[in-house]
Amino acid sequence: MKWKQQIFGMKAYQPGKPMEEVKKEFGLEEVVKLASNENPYGFSPKVKAFLNGDDTNHAIYPDGYAQNLRTAVANHLNVAEKQLLFGNGSDDLIAIVTRALLYPGVNTVMATPSFSQYQHNAEIEGAEVRQVPLKDGKHDLDAMLAAIDEKTSIVWVCNPNNPTGTIVNDEELQNFIEKVPSDVLIVLDEAYFEYVNSPEYKDTLHYVNEYPNVLIMRTFSKAYGLASFRVGYAIGNEGIIAKLDPVRAPFNNTVLSHKVAIIALQDQAFIEECKTKNEEGKKQYSAFCEKHGLNIYPSQTNFVLFEVKADSDVVFTEMMKRGFIIRSGNALSSPGYIRVTIGTEEQNDKFLSLLEEVLIEQGVFA
């Protein structure tokens, strides 16, 4: 068959091991997944109440234009309805943008380590991938600017960055956006927007009006706790959205996902509560790292990337045997580190005491 050359040797996304599999393999009664930055508090009780009485007719196709959710999000953000594009998670938005703007002969600029899907989708389209190493765990925007040339089509700013949790502050971002040529799309992936508490990180929505080449991506998968429903949205200039919309699959959300996202959006008290608890949880990890002299990146998200001074894969496996699924830094271009989703207070306590045990076993400290 006439496969795209770039498909050869490519691997499908490697998710964390499913909880059921880990239970069976290690004979565990309980397994806690702190690997994919899902909300440990679940989702709004209002969504739960709705689902219990739900009578959605699943035989009918959803509204491809997502009109009801579109109105709700547009009102929530105070943007025009035509400035929004909905995706089957922001993963879908990344694929749509890539499909529309990348092809052999153009290039795309991104940080490394950063979210793997920018590179993956770019490779499928046969575009050149230019990865710019983080500097002190943060996007090196000057080096990213230097990597942009007349063949650059998209530049990605993952803000906060996955897997480091670090942010680009508003002043740095403004300066960067001003300097990027106007024919290069700047994607601001803000999957963890709701968790940020730094005063230096400001709302970026105004940029889409001032700079028609800026596109923001947000999702219901992380703080809203609706990862299984697959809803993400992009906010941009109406012209960009109109160009991207035909690339979208006709029914890329479900009827039910539209309904629950609207309900979740209305419960901002739930988001605030999760954010407060997340801040407390973050302190548990920073205290642990301080106590043991381990480097930890300053996170503005619901996960932390920190040093273990041991083989990350070994720590990953040892923690899995003890009932915790996390991400090894080796899978995130961060050897010697692990990425852990901040869980509930109890989960964090248990995780950290078991990690201490493992690191003593590994001879990292006594």
Ligand X SMILES: *Cc1c(COP(=O)(O)O)cnc(C)c1O
Residues that bind ligand X (CB under 6 A): 37, 89-91, 115, 158, 162, 189, 191, 219, 221, 227, 232
- Give the Cα separation of 197 and 215 in Å (integer): 22
CB contact at 8 A, 23 and 32? no
- C-beta of 224 vs 323, nearer to ligand X: 224
| Residue closer to ligand X (CB basis): 16 or 232 | 232
Least distance between ligand X and beta carbon 106 (Å): 22
How far is it, in rounded angstroms, from Cα 228 to Cα 262?
Answer: 15
> Which is nearer to ligand X, 95 or 180 (by Cβ)?
95
The residue among 232 and 323 lying less far from ligand X, judged by its C-beta, is 232
From the CB of 48, what's the least distance to ligand X, in Å? 20
User: For residues 136 and 130, what is the distance between their CA atoms, to the nearest angstrom?
Assistant: 19
Q: Is 2 exposed, middle or buried (0-12, 13-18, 19+ CB in 10 A)?
A: exposed
Nearer to ligand X, 83 or 121 (CB): 121
Nearest distance, CB of residue 305 and ligand X, angstroms: 12
DSSP states of 118-141: HHHHHHHTT-EEEEEE-BTTB--H
Amino acid letter, 194: E
Nearer to ligand X, 98 or 323 (CB): 98
| Beta-sheet strands, E only, within 151-258 | 152-158, 185-189, 214-219, 232-236
What tokens were used for 106? 């153009």
Partner residues linked to 296 by β-bridges: 306
Backbone angles phi, psi at 89, to 5 degrees: 80, 165
Q: Which amino acid is residue 253, in one-letter code?
A: N
Instruction: Indicate the residue among 223 and 358 with the shorter CB distance to ligand X.
Output: 223
Q: What are phi and psi of 91, to 5 degrees?
A: -55, -40
Rg of the chain in Å (alpha carbons): 21
Contacts of 35 (CB under 8 A, 6+ apart): 16, 325, 326, 327, 339, 341
DSSP letter at 180?
Answer: S
Do the Cβ atoms of 96 and 87 come closer than 8 Å? yes
Q: Is 232 exposed, middle or buried (0-12, 13-18, 19+ CB in 10 A)?
A: buried
CB of 91 to ligand X, least distance (A): 3
The least CB distance from residue 309 to ligand X, in Å, is 26
Residue 64, judged by CB atoms within 10 A of its CB (0-12, 13-18, 19+), counts as middle
Q: How far is the CB of 313 from ligand X (least distance, A)?
A: 21
Q: Minimum CB separation from ligand X for residue 36, in Å?
A: 7
**Residue 191 vs 319, nearer CB to ligand X:** 191
Rounded to a whole number of angstroms, the minimum distance from the CB of residue 139 to ligand X is 13
Q: Which helix or strand (DSSP H or E) is residue 86 part of? A: strand 84-87
Separation between Cα atoms, residue 66 and residue 43, nearest integer Å: 21
Compute the least distance from the CB of residue 364 to ligand X, in Å: 28
Nearer to ligand X, 79 or 191 (CB): 191
CB of 301 to ligand X, least distance (A): 8
Q: For ligand X, give the closer residue by CB, 16 or 89.
A: 89
